[in-house]
């Protein structure tokens, strides 16, 4: 299986973004997704910058995919997406049907995790439009994935979220601005202060969700490191690791070693603890609630957010 | 205000035959219903229509010149696929006036198998812009889009100018603060979501606990809300509880409140909205009667004199009594809300 790094979901300063990808050049990552997928007001990195980063990563032997915005409302957002679609060099990951409208039948594209591909007929439809890879929506469990893999069109690659905060919801409302009593239209780019999002806790002081501008994520990291054999058995081609502000190259190394038989999954699980401040989860894989952790060896359920 | 403003259709929900009759009797132009087979986004125990009930509902509506739409707006996975196909075939047999779909695979099936069946794009399809809507129109010949509750009024106006299909918007009822069809919060906590099972914060996952600190509501072990003794307790929809962010306790995502667009009716009429929809197939016959009656009066008043239309204070008061949280908002239509 190949390792990918998904698009950065947080708002980082320009230099931090460049440094982040510089570090990835030497890493064991095969595929890198680039671009702003959350908020069109985040403009620290321009399309020209992204293309420069793409160029550097390509030289370092990485496959680069340009990702598009997920919630598209304004004409300016459509227009930027159009420019990304017509970049002429890199494959594009579509995160809204508007992108598929532009890309379908024109060039190979990746069906992003925010396109609702829940059954084989939908996958077949996108295949007819030249999709080359699909990222499994986070809610789907292994039984559904297995059945979709059995009917997967020839040549279609499958990618799964293997590590990181789960992208759970999008809204017109900006929750980070709301947390600071600021209107969205004058947010003062407050997201820059939260390089890993803003955690939200229940009244029992249990960590629950991460607020990231208009996006809501799981506070627990989805972690499939103990399930990679099962993932492989289903013929999944790519495992996706989501960017976080610290420890990315170490996380990639751990997954790479497990994939190549150089580290036991149990050891990897212990090592990954350092990168999951608010715990881990894998419930979706088993067709259960996403927030729980199910111990693969004993199938013991554990609630990350329990009362 | 343009004198050429078109009439806006009133689309009302019905979870059973009595509610359907109530909506017809109180002035709905169309009723939307779902089958009792888990193929729609109000998959609640005791709710929805058998095929026979749907037939009877259709007959009652038709006799009164009212249309019937069938909502099939979940995203069926392999084990639900055959049930979804059966439901579509049944909808075609009953000759519903429109089928409301979200799943591209199902739309593709409809286009091939029942090309004469009119398709509406469900709010669950998350089509929030011109290009996404055009995709569904070109690919599956959808005739109408129900817009997600995330667009501002000026964005709605722009979409209507640019798309070759009718536009329907939500006018009253519970408010999804997330983009419909793109929210997995409920499955993260309970294992079931609108996309996977047609439910959000399902009742089987709800637990109540009386404590010294007051009554507490839980969804599958996650504390959603804590009420003081004198506070009325609401249903624990998971995005509508109070949570801590940086030590501040507040409705971090959304307050329990309802959407009410009455004051925007003249604007919606002027910009060419084809229909407004009332949320609430899970609500009672009394609710459906009252909301339908008030919105009918409001739409008629607005249509006959849009320039001077002001929502009647009694309408607002009555609707607030029926509303979640007993209050209302314009939601995303009003930019500062965002």
Does residue A305 have a pLDDT over 60? no
Q: Are A50 and A92 in contact (CB under 8 A)?
A: no
Please state, in angstroms and rounded to a whole number, the distance separating the CA atoms of residues B191 and A303.
Answer: 13
For residue A178, which residues of chain B lie inside 8 Å, CB to CB?
Answer: 252
Per-residue pLDDT, averaged over A287-300, amounts to: 83
Residue ranges of domains in chain A, CATH in brackets: 2-303 (3.20.20)
Helix H or strand E segment including A177: helix A175-179
Q: How far apart are the first and last CA of chain B?
A: 27
Domain residue ranges of chain B, discontinuous segments joined by +:
9-175+257-337, 196-250
For residue B132, which residues of chain A lie inside 8 Å, CB to CB?
Answer: 72, 96-98, 101
Residue A30's pLDDT is 98
Residue B1's pLDDT is 40
Residue A225, CA distances (Å) to A40, A240, B157, B216 in order:
33, 11, 48, 36
Helix H or strand E segment including B11: strand B9-13
- Select the residue of B135, B225, B226 nearest A101 (Cβ to Cβ): B135
C-beta atoms surrounding A2 within 10 Å? 16
Residue A306's pLDDT is 40
Check if B65 contacts A (Cβ < 8 Å).
no
Residue A307's pLDDT is 35
| R_g over Cα of chain A | 19
Q: How distant is the Cα of A259 from the closest Cα of chain B, in angstroms? A: 27
Q: Are A130 and A105 in contact (CB under 8 A)?
A: yes
> Interface pTM (ipTM) of the complex?
0.96
Q: How distant is the Cα of A217 from the closest Cα of chain B, in angstroms? A: 9
Per-residue pLDDT, averaged over A280-307, amounts to: 79
CB pair distance less than 8 Å for A98 and B131: yes
Q: Which CATH architecture has domain B9-175+257-337?
A: Alpha-Beta Barrel (3.20)
Residue B2's pLDDT is 41
B91-126 burial string, b = 16+ CB within 10 Å, else e?
Answer: bbebebbbbbbbbbbbbbbbeeebeebbbbbbbbbb
For residue A261, what are the contacts with CB-CB under 8 A and spacing of at least 6?
none
For residue B335, which residues of chain A lie inside 8 Å, CB to CB?
Answer: 184-185
- Select the residue of B75, B125, B243 nearest A118 (Cβ to Cβ): B75
Q: Which chain B residue has the Cα nearest residue A173?
A: B338
Coil, strand or helix at B31: strand
Choice between A142 and B73, residue whose per-residue pLDDT is larger: A142
- Select the residue of B129, B150, B193 nearest A139 (Cβ to Cβ): B193
Percent of chain A with pLDDT over 90: 95
Q: What is the pLDDT of residues B67-123, one digit of tens each?
A: 999 999 899 999 999 999 999 999 999 999 999 999 999 999 999 999 999 999 999
Does residue A173 have a pLDDT over 60? yes
Interface test with B, best of A39, A101, A219 (most B CBs within 10 A): A101
B145-163 burial string, b = 16+ CB within 10 Å, else e?
Answer: bbbbbbbbbebbbbbbeeb
Please state, in angstroms and rounded to a whole number, the distance separating the CA atoms of residues A211 and A218.
Answer: 9
Q: What is the pLDDT of residues A234-267, one digit of tens each?
A: 999 999 999 999 999 999 999 999 999 999 999 9
Among A51, A47, A50, A38, which Cα is nearest to A11's?
Answer: A38
- Select the residue of A78, A171, A205 nearest B131 (Cβ to Cβ): A78
Check if B338 contacts A (Cβ < 8 Å).
yes
Check if B222 contacts A (Cβ < 8 Å).
yes
Within 13 Å and on the Cβ side, how many CA atoms surround A92? 29
For residue B246, which residues of chain A lie inside 8 Å, CB to CB?
Answer: 179, 198
Structure tokens at B251: 């409705």
For residue A270, what are the contacts with CB-CB under 8 A and spacing of at least 6?
none
Strand partners, B70: B33, B99
Q: Which chain A residue has the Cα nearest residue B156?
A: A73
DSSP state of A153: P
CB pair distance less than 8 Å for B78 and A100: no
State which residues of chain B have pLDDT below 50. 1-3
For residue B178, which residues of chain A lie inside 8 Å, CB to CB?
Answer: 169-171, 216
Chain B 102-161, residues with CB within 8 Å of chain A CB atoms: 102-106, 108-109, 125-132, 134-136, 138, 149-152, 155, 158
Q: Which chain B residue has the Cα nearest residue A184?
A: B338
CB pair distance less than 8 Å for B185 and A305: no
Choice between B44 and A155, residue whose per-residue pLDDT is larger: A155
C-beta atoms surrounding A254 within 10 Å? 24
Q: What is the pLDDT of residues A43-53, one digit of tens each?
A: 999 999 999 99
Per-residue pLDDT, averaged over A68-79, amounts to: 95
Secondary-structure breakdown of chain B: helix, strand, coil percentages, each rounded to the nearest 5: 40, 20, 35
DSSP state of A286: G
For residue B189, which residues of chain A lie inside 8 Å, CB to CB?
Answer: 289-291, 305
Per-residue pLDDT, averaged over A268-290, amounts to: 97
């Amino acid at each position: 299986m190949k390792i990918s790094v998904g698009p950065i979901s947080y708002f980082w300063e320009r230099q931090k973004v460049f440094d982040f990808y510089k570090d990835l050049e030497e890493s064991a990552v095969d595929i890198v997704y680039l671009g702003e997928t959350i908020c069109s007001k985040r403009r620290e990195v321009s399309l020209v910058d992204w293309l420069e980063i793409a160029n550097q990563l390509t030289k370092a032997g990485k496959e680069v995919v340009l990702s598009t915005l997920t919630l598209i409302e304004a004409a300016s957002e459509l227009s930027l997406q159009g420019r990304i679609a017509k970049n002429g060099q890199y494959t594009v990951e579509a995160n809204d049907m508007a992108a598929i409208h532009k890309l379908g039948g024109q060039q190979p594209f990746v069906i992003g995790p925010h396109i609702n591909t829940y059954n084989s007929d939908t996958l077949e439809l996108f295949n007819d439009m030249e999709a080359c890879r699909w990222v499994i929506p986070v809610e789907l469990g292994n039984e559904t994935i297995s059945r979709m893999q059995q009917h997967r069109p020839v040549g279609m690659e499958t990618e799964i979220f293997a590590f990181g905060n789960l992208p759970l919801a999008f809204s017109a409302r900006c929750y980070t601005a709301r947390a600071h009593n600021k209107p969205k239209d004058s947010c003062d780019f407050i997201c820059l202060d939260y390089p890993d999002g803003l955690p939200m806790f229940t009244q029992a002081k249990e960590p629950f969700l991460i607020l990231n501008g208009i996006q809501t994520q799981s506070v627990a990291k989805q972690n499939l490191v103990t399930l990679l054999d099962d993932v492989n058995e289903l013929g999944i081609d790519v495992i996706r690791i989501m960017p976080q502000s610290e420890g990315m190259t170490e996380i990639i190394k751990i997954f790479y070693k497990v994939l190549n038989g150089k580290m036991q999954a149990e050891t990897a699980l212990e090592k990954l603890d350092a990168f999951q401040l608010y715990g881990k989860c894998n419930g979706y894989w088993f067709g259960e609630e996403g927030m729980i952790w199910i111990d693969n060896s004993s199938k013991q359920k554990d609630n990350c957010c329990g009362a | 205000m343009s004198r050429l403003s078109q009439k806006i259709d009133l689309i009302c929900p019905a979870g059973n035959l009595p509610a359907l009759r109530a909506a017809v009797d109180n002035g709905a132009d169309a009723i939307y219903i779902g089958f009792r087979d888990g193929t729609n986004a109000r998959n609640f125990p005791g709710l929805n229509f058998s095929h026979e009930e749907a037939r009877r509902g259709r007959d009652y509506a038709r006799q009164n010149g009212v249309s019937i739409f069938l909502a099939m707006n979940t995203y069926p996975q392999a084990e639900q696929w055959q049930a979804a196909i059966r439901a579509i075939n049944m909808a075609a047999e009953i000759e519903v006036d429109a089928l409301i779909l979200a799943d591209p695979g199902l739309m593709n099936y409809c286009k091939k198998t029942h090309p004469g069946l009119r398709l509406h794009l469900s709010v669950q399809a998350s089509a929030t812009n011109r290009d996404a809507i055009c995709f569904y129109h070109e690919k599956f010949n959808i005739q109408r889009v129900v817009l997600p509750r995330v667009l501002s009024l000026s964005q709605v106006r722009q979409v209507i100018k640019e798309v070759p299909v009718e536009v329907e918007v939500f006018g009253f009822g519970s408010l999804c603060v997330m983009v419909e069809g793109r929210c997995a919060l409920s499955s993260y906590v309970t294992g079931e979501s609108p996309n996977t099972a047609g439910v959000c914060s399902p009742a089987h996952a709800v637990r109540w606990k009386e404590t010294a600190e007051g009554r507490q509501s839980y969804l599958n072990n996650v504390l959603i809300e804590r009420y003081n003794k004198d506070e009325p307790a609401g249903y624990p929809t998971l995005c509508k509880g109070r949570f801590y962010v940086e030590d501040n306790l507040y409705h971090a995502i959304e307050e329990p409140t309802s959407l009410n667009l009455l004051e925007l009716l003249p604007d919606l009429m002027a910009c060419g909205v084809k229909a407004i929809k009332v949320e609430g197939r899970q609500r009672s016959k009394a609710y459906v009667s009252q909301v339908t009656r008030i919105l009918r009066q409001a739409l008629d008043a607005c249509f006959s004199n849009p320039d001077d239309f002001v929502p009647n204070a009694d309408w607002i008061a009555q609707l607030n009594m029926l509303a979640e949280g007993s209050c209302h908002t314009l939601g995303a239509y009003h930019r500062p809300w965002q």
